[in-house]
Structure 1
Amino acid sequence: MTYRYRVATVFLLGFFIDCINIFMPAVAMPRIAATFAIDNANSAWVGNAYILGLALVMPVSTWLAAQWGARQLLSASMLGFAVAAWGCGQADGFAGLIAGRLLQGMAGGLLIPVGQALTFNLFQGPERARVSTLVMAVALIAPALSPSLGGLMVDRGSWPWVFHANIPLALLAAGLAWLWIRDVPGTAQARPDFLGLLLISAALAALLLGMSLYGAGHGLAWALPCLALGALCALLYRRHYRRTNSAILELDLLDSARLKVSMWIYQAIPGIFTGVNLLNIFYLQDTLALSAQATGLFMLVYAAGAFAAMLMVGRAYNRAGARRLFLLGMLLHSLGIAMLVLVDSARDGHLLILAYALMGIGGGIGANTAQTTALLDFTGQQTQQASVLWNLNRQMAFSLGAALLLMVFNLLLDQLGSTLAYHLSFALAALLGLTPLARLHTLPQENPHHA
């Protein structure tokens, strides 16, 4: 195996580990909630803490690689990931589990951008498209396999295995990084904007905490201070941004309608789907008494639909344009979510299959079109800066979607029965998935040069 394919293997293995850690623990949420006697709104922090860890270190990962060397950083990150995974499975309290998930996310956030940069620099021109195809394949295989495998572990063993199962993979990635990545000294880089990073992280954490507290029934007295703190940190970052020449997030890039709409689409489709899928896991296991493994199998249907959509978008993008593809993706995705309202018993498997197929096709069209469209307006250094905005939004979409829908469900549950609360939450999610419709007209006409 040549050096560049060894580097690509390390990156893809790390990316696979990251993907399964977003989707595999979700299928174990009902068991985790029962073990620690918490409600489903608080259980979302198993995912939120991981995403926050990713968001915290991603912007500084390339600077750390320049200071320590890519080989050392990648190996250390996967060793840290393995230790954190062990800690998650051994946690004897919910706070310990959340701390372990935060550390897992921080370790994974070090490998992904550094490994991607190393890999893409070694594959140029048409060869880069092959690597991109492998990345998309991993992004589909991991969500397809991990929920069903995680469900099997939960049904046949116990929930800690959804974390312990990552340890051999993380150790393998650490060993391969140490053996295969060349020890090349890093290039000196300017000190990153740590104050900006602190303000952005505080704003996101406070927003998620406020929504989770309100959804868990703690009332506005607890939620409002958190939401106010999040808003204050966001305003302080905007002020900080205007006064510094090297802010960690370049807000002026949001003047690009393509980037702005693509980010909005990602919140409305993959973000909303994350919340819908998490709610549906609780609904199928707690209300309809399906096993964890059976619940996870529906993600295979979703992945098959998303794979078909990925192939379609690759062929149709330049002919149909982003606006039409966004519209089609949103309509199919929301129709799939609406189908969940009709599910009343474990015998409605055909409705669940149809719902996940539609969500997969619509989600695949929307997400892949957004990925293609987001950075079209940028070149050179601006591409890297826009990529930071795009990836931060992409990661936070998963947490915000889950926090929002769990909050909605718990508020409805106070007034309605369990089944009706689930159904109304799904109906509202279908409507929320259509919110970017009002922004599609801002997209400019396709530029033939982009093709």
Structure 2
Amino acid sequence: MLSPRIAVVIVYTAAMCMNGLDSTIVNPALLTIARDFDAPVSAANTVEVAFLVSLAAALPVAGWLGDRFGTKRVFLGALALFTLASAACGLSQDLTALVLSRVVQGLAGGLLTPVGMTLLFRTYPPHERVKLSKVLIVPTALMPALGPPLGGLLTQHLSWHWLFFVNVPIGAAAVLLGLVGIREHVEGTEGRFDLTGFLLATPALGLLTYALGFGPSHGWTSPSIAVSGVLGLALLVAAVVHQLRAATPLLELKLLADKVYAVATGLALLTSAGLMGVLFVFPLLYQAVLGASALDAGLSVFPEALGLMLASQVVDRLLPRLGPRLLAAPALVLAAGVFAALAVPAVAESAWAVRGLMFLVGLVLGTAVLTIQIAGFADVAPPRMGQAMGLFTIVRTLGGALGIAAAAAVVGALGESGDAHGGAEAGPYQAAILVTAALVALGTLVALRMPREAPAPPPFDDEVPEHEAAESSA
């Protein structure tokens, strides 16, 4: 019989792969979707923004739901909804139906990430999480890298509908395995549901993500963007003030008093912004400047996935020896240098130079991302894990949206030109890549505040919590 610990890893990996993949797999197909529905490309971009906005809107309540109703129940329910929404996306007959299906998919995805990580981190104590690096790297960084090439391949050789259909068999199998193999854990909640916090934080994140997603294309001063950005920021400030004062807040911001967790959360914002920004802008450089196909553009970033796979092996061996600070800070310095090298004139014209640099992006940035994630949660107590994971995921998600928006804004401000068949100037795209490099470089200064020592095992190996011992023997 499959042990509950292994079942958690398998189901978590499958679910997070689906969620991570869907954040980037649609990008190479937006032009094709627009043509199929006889819509402008700017309208087709709603497909991606709708997913990100609804995902962000669901994040604030994820931790509370997992604690209140049980991590297994909420996680598998969200996974089932995500799978059904994926099928609905693939079956959509018009752009409106596709966008609405993506909204549902995003809401489910917003619950999946923090609740899934909570489930995993409650199952494995801190000293065992280093060994899980091979699992953690797949959904957090590997899948966004695989999204563009897989999206280009499916769109070019099948149809864009298969970008969503691929989730259905994986999701169904994962739900069935989770129902049989995962043990329920209900942490419980104290006090009443923080309705005020929910009504402030949820629209705040949704409006900010909307403004960041559409700002570069619609213009930051357009009424819808300006109102969304200002209102979202005001609601966010009000939400923060309320959360700090509430007796039982929806989001436990006081967790940031933990120095290591606070540093890890700040680094999550910067590294996510840099990674998602470069994964967004470099395929555009390939297509707009060199006239590459969607598949070629996707394949240009594929070697990053191979670097990430190697990074999981590096972290597994080096983190216990070097500690978080000596591993993360140099890795971020190297990552910033590699990002900047992608902006060097004529680099994009050399296929092998691009492949080599993308491999290094995956290796060095993946090493930093894994180190940050493992170290940041080492001292978080199991009862607070749901809240900590929810807050961490919110910050990381906003970081990704900020990175994409920053890259798109630079391209637009410096004069995007040309068409999908090539002929555009490389300068704006190269400048946008340099911005992503600056974001990663800024993370180096933050990483210097990480602890020197790696998470230590408990004093005696046989001192395992009673519920973990019971699961291990099952």
Q: TM-score range by the shorter chain?
A: 0.7 to 0.9
Which residue is 1:2 aligned to?
A: 2
Structure-2 change in CA distance of 1:318 and 1:138 (3 Å): same
My pick for the range that moved more, 239-248 or 383-392, is: 383-392
> Deviation at 1:45?
4.8
Q: Distance in 1 between matches of 2:129 and 2:325?
A: 26
Q: For 1:127-138, what aligned pairs fall within 5 Å after superposition?
A: 130-131=131-132, 133-137=134-138
Q: Distance in 2 between matches of 1:179 and 1:163?
A: 26
Structure whose residues are more often helix by fraction: 1
User: Contact between 1:24 and 1:147, CA under 8 Å: does it hold in 2?
Assistant: yes
Q: Distance in 2 between matches of 1:313 and 1:6?
A: 23
Q: Could you list the runs of 5+ residues in structure 1 that have no partner in the other structure?
A: none
**What is the aligned residue count?**
448
Which residue is 1:82 aligned to?
A: 83
Q: Distance in 1 between matches of 2:129 and 2:287?
A: 42
Q: Distance in 1 between matches of 2:112 and 2:381?
A: 24
Which residue is 2:316 aligned to?
A: 314
Q: Does 1:209 align with 2:216?
A: no
What is the letter of the counterpart of residue 364 of structure 1? Answer: G
> Deviation at 1:342?
3.2
**Over aligned residues, Cα RMSD in angstroms?**
3.4
Which residue is 1:49 aligned to?
A: 50
Q: Does 1:254 align with 2:256?
A: yes
Deviations 1:149-174 (A, max 9, x none): 32211111222221122122222233
Q: The residue matched to 1:220 in structure 2 has which SS?
A: coil
My pick for the range that moved more, 17-26 or 251-260, is: 251-260
Percent identity over paired residues = 25
What is the letter of the counterpart of residue 208 of structure 1? Answer: T
Structure-2 change in CA distance of 1:433 and 1:381 (3 Å): same
Q: For 1:8-407, what aligned pairs fall within 5 Å after superposition?
A: 8-35=9-36, 37-39=39-41, 45-61=46-62, 63-64=64-65, 73-118=74-119, 121=122, 130-131=131-132, 133-137=134-138, 139=140, 142-143=143-144, 145-180=146-181, 189-190=189-190, 191-222=192-223, 223-342=225-344, 344=346, 347-407=349-409
> Deviation at 1:144?
5.4
Q: Distance in 1 between matches of 2:189 and 2:246?
A: 17
Deviations 1:201-224 (A, max 9, x none): 222222233334431143514233
Which residue is 1:427 aligned to?
A: 434
Q: Distance in 1 between matches of 2:21 and 2:179?
A: 23
> Deviation at 1:243?
3.1
My pick for the range that moved more, 84-93 or 393-402, is: 84-93
Deviations 1:66-106 (A, max 9, x none): 76666665554333223321332344554443332221122
> What is the TM-score with the length of structure 1 in the denominator?
0.85
Structure-2 change in CA distance of 1:155 and 1:163 (3 Å): same
Which residue is 2:452 aligned to?
A: 446
Structure-2 change in CA distance of 1:23 and 1:244 (3 Å): same
Deviations 1:117-165 (A, max 9, x none): 5555555687666555434355565345443332211111222221122
User: Contact between 2:9 and 2:135, CA under 8 Å: does it hold in 1?
Assistant: no
Deviations 1:349-387 (A, max 9, x none): 022112212211221122112112323454354444333
Q: Distance in 2 between matches of 1:119 and 1:437?
A: 28
Q: The residue matched to 2:219 in structure 1 has which SS?
A: coil
User: Contact between 1:212 and 1:407, CA under 8 Å: does it hold in 2?
Assistant: no
User: Contact between 2:63 and 2:390, CA under 8 Å: does it hold in 1?
Assistant: no
User: Contact between 1:330 and 1:433, CA under 8 Å: does it hold in 2?
Assistant: yes
Which residue is 2:467 aligned to?
A: none
Q: Distance in 2 between matches of 1:400 and 1:50?
A: 15
